[in-house]
Chain A
C-alpha cells in the first residue's frame, strides 16, 4: 500500500517516531505552562480536575478511533451516549429512593444494563447498514446521529433527567485509593481495546479493512461480520462514555457533550489515526488527549478564554499533520510544481 500524504504507510512505519513527536510536544507544553503558571500548574488540584475531565472525551474518542481504524467515522457516538444515559437515567429515577438491599441493587444493575442493550442494538443496526447495505460510514452514522438524538429529544422533550442513587454518582465522582473512578474506567477500557486492536484476529481484520476492504474480503476475511462487530464495539464504548457523563453530572440530557463530536475526531487524528483508515494507535490517542487536556487546563489556570484553547488545538492539528507529511517521506513540504 502506498502511504497517503501525511500518514505512515503501515503500522510498522513511523509509529515510534509519531509517539516521540507527541511526547516532545507534551513535555514542551508542560515546561512552558509550568514556567507561565508557576507551581499551580502541577498542583494536586489541577491534576485531579484533569483526571476527572479526561475520561469522558477519552472514551468517546476511543469509540471514534475504532471506527476510524476501519476507514469510517462514527458520527453518532455522542447522540448514542446521550440516548443510553437517558435510558439508564429514566429507569434509575423511577426506582424508589433511599432503598438498598439485593433486589434494589439488581434493579440498578438492570437499569444500567438496559443502556448497554440499547447500545448493542444500535451498533448492530449501524453495522448492518454499513456492512450489508453498503452505505458509507459517514452517511450512515450521520443519519443515525440525527435519528438517535431525535429519539432522545422526543422522549424527554429536551428536559434533563437527574437525581441518581449515590452508587451511580460514585462512578463519576468517587475515588479509589486517591485515583478518580472515571480515570480507572478509562484505563480499564483503553488497555483491552488496545490489545484487541493490535493482538487479535479481529483487530487485524479491522486494520486491513481500513487499508483495503476489497483485498481483505478476497483474502478470506468475513469483512461484513468484522464491520458489524466493530460498530457494536464502538457503540458499547459510546454507551460507557454516556454512563460516565451521567454519573459525573448526576444528570442526563439529549444535548450533553454535542460540541465534543468534532473534538473526538481531532483527538484521533492528532494521535496519528489516518482518517481514511488502516492506521490508528491507542497510545497515540492517549497522548493526544493528554495534550488537549493540558492545553485547556493550563489556559483555564492562566485565565485565558477557553475558546482560545480550541483555536490552539486547531493550529496544533494543522502543524502535526503538515509535519507528518514531511516525516512520512514527502520531504517537500510544499509542492512547488503546482505553481508552474
Chain B
C-alpha cells in the first residue's frame, strides 16, 4: 500500500491541498504567484488571521468565543475617539485597543469560569451586549477622519521593483506575523500554553492536577480579546475609517478558518501551522478564483464546498483511526 507516501497529520494534508491549489492557480493565472499578490493576500486577510490566532487558543482550551468581533468594534471605536481628541501616538493607540480587548476578554472569562455559564452562551450574550451598547451610545455613526500619522501606516523596508511595483512590510503583515509568532511560542514552548492544552484535553484531569484554572481561563479569553484589539487596529488602518456595523457578523468566517486548520471544538487539539494553512486555503481559493476569471459571486459557494469536504474528510479519517485502534 502507498501508505508510506500518504500524509499522516492534518497539517500535512492541508499543506498538500494548499500546494496543489497554488500550482493549479499559477497555471490558470500568471498574476497569482507574484510577490505583489502574496503581499495583498496577507494584507487583506490580516484581520481574519489575527482573530484566528486568538480563537485557536480558545478552541485549544476547550471553549469557544464568538464575541470577538464586537470586542474589536468597541476597541477601535474607543481608541479612535480618543486618538482624534488627544495626541496619543502609536504606543497610546496600541495600549488602548489592547487594554479594551483584554478587559472585555476578562469579563468573558469571569462569566465563564466564575458564574459557570457555558462559553458559547456567555460569549453569545456578550456579543450582543458589547455591540448593542456601542451602537446605542454612538448611534452607529462612522468615524471618517482618522489621524494622519495613522492613515499613512507603517512601512518598513519599502522598495520599488523594476516595474514600479511598491513593496513594504506594512502594519498588517507585521502585526499578523508577530501575533502568530507569539501564539506559537505560547502554545508550544511556554508552560502556560501546555497547561491550556492539557486543560482543553481533559478538564477533570487538569483540575485534579491542580492547574490554576481561573488563571488559564483569564489568559485564554484575555489573549482572544488582545488579538481582537490588534485586529481592529489593523482593519481600521486598511479601511481608513471606523464603521461600527461592518465587523460583527464575521465571527463564523473566523471559526471556519480555524476548524479547517484542524482545531477541534472539543478542545486540546489545534496548531498554529494548521490555522495558518486553514486561513491560506480559504484566502487563496477566493483570491485565486477571481484571478483565474471566475465570477466573485461564486466564491462563497467554493469556500463552503471546501469546508464541507474538509470537515467530512477529517471526521472520516478520525473515525477510521478509532476503528483501527479497537
Contacts and interface: CB of A to CB of B under 8 A. Distances in A.
Contacts of B117: 6, 318, 321-322, 325
Interface string B197-222: 00000000000000001100000000
Nearest to A258: B249
B143 interface: no
A307 B121 contact: no
Main secondary structure of the interface of B (DSSP, over half): helix
Interface residues on B, range: 35 or more
B116 A154 contact: no
A208 interface: no
Contacts of A134: 315-316, 318-319
B315 A146 contact: no
A136 B265 contact: yes
A335 interface: yes
B165 interface: no
Interface in B301-326: 301-305, 307-308, 310-312, 314-316, 318-319
A338 interface: yes
Contacts of A338: 113-114, 213-214
A262 B66 contact: yes
A140 interface: yes
B37 to A, nearest CB: 23
Contact of B297 (A139, A148, A157, A275): A157
B120 interface: yes
A334 B114 CA distance: 6
Interface string B110-150: 01011111101110111111011111100110000000000
Interface stretch (B41-49, B97-105, B252-260): B252-260
A142 B213 contact: no
A41 to B, nearest CB: 20
Interface residues of A, number: 56
A148 B304 contact: yes
Contacts of B111: 318, 322
Contact of B125 (A138, A154, A314, A325): A314
B301 A143 contact: no
A339 B303 CA distance: 45
B299 interface: yes
A243 interface: no
Interface centre among B127, B302, B311 (most CB of A within 10 A): B311
A146 B256 contact: yes
A27 interface: no
B153 interface: no
B257 to A, nearest CB: 11
B92 interface: no
A253 to B, nearest CB: 13
- Most chain A CB atoms below 10 A, which of B125, B135, B256, B311: B125
B89 interface: no
Contacts of B307: 139, 142-143, 146-147
B124 A317 contact: yes
Contacts of A136: 265-266, 311, 315
Interface in B28-54: none
Given A129-B308, A139-B311, A276-B118, 8 more contacts: A6-B121, A134-B315, A135-B314, A139-B307, A266-B125, A269-B121, A311-B129, A311-B132
Interface of A: 4-6, 75, 129, 133-136, 138-140, 142-151, 153-154, 157-158, 258-259, 262, 265-266, 269, 275-276, 304-305, 307-315, 317-318, 321-322, 325, 330, 333-335, 338-339
The 6 A-B residue pairs with the shortest CB-CB distance in the complex, in nearest-first order = A147-B304, A311-B132, A150-B301, A150-B300, A314-B128, A146-B304
